[in-house]
A and B are shown apart, each in its own frame.
Chain A
């Protein structure tokens, strides 16, 4: 069965520090991968998605970047964190090839607090 791992679960970082959140998927190949951010009491905002190694699409201009060095690895990064980067970050995957309209499977999330 497929599983998605996301870490760390919580992170407290000072303003201006770098960020690296990692997400890996097991049990599937060629997944679409996604990073979402969720502000407190709000919905999910799509930040990045990837359809393959090295292929990253950014949905909103921001202080963050994403990379996909391996098929089942998705990394969210920042060189210098801002206060506004605080939030709950969720990684997700979905099947890529074949049937369309497939649901997303989410990781457990990372609660990032920038102080």
Chain B
């Protein structure tokens, strides 16, 4: 089965509020994590990534936090906008032999931003 999952399948927030999307992973050997945003009918778009030697990484309006102790990953979106409405996926990577690797995706969280 999947080793990456999400605590909340749906999240509804008001425009301007901060959003927090959570993700749990089960494989302690995972060394790289990515958050993707997928709008309806489109392919996933990269948002932000983090390596296992980091606890926090910030981008434009987004922050990813990694807690390796409890195998938990979160995506924080500041001042959420209607354009942020989408499904958000976390993905984990376990280094494969050589330079080949595969990502395992969680089921996704649907974020709805209310105006």
What's the nearest-Cβ distance from chain A to residue B42, in Å? 6
Indicate the member of B42, B101, B103 with the most A CB atoms within 10 Å: B103
> A49: which B residues are within 8 A, CB to CB?
102
In the complex, A87→B30 CA distance in Å?
28
Using a Cβ–Cβ cut-off of 8 Å, how many residues does chain A contribute to the interface with B? Answer: 26
In this assembly, does A51 line the interface, its C-beta being within 8 Å of a C-beta of chain B?
Answer: yes
CB distance from A101 to the nearest CB of B (A): 4
Contact, CB under 8 Å: A51 / B100: yes
Q: Does B51 contact A (CB under 8 A)?
A: yes
The answer to whether A101 and B31 touch (CB under 8 A), given A43-B107, A109-B41, A109-B43, is yes
Q: A46 touching B101 by the CB < 8 A rule?
A: no
Chain A residues whose C-beta falls within 8 Å of the C-beta of B51 in the assembled complex: 101
| B 75-92 to A, binary, CB cutoff 8 A, 1 in contact else 0 | 000000000000001010
A105 at the interface (CB under 8 A from B): yes
Is the pair A44, B105 in contact by a Cβ cutoff of 8 Å?
Answer: yes
Docked-complex contact A101 and B93, CB < 8 angstroms: yes
Cβ of B76 to closest chain A Cβ, rounded Å: 19
Q: List 6 A-B contacts (CB under 8 A).
A: A32-B100, A46-B104, A100-B95, A100-B101, A101-B51, A111-B41
New A-B contacts (8) at CB < 8 Å, excluding given A43-B107, A44-B89, A104-B103: A32-B100, A43-B89, A100-B32, A100-B99, A103-B46, A107-B43, A108-B43, A109-B42
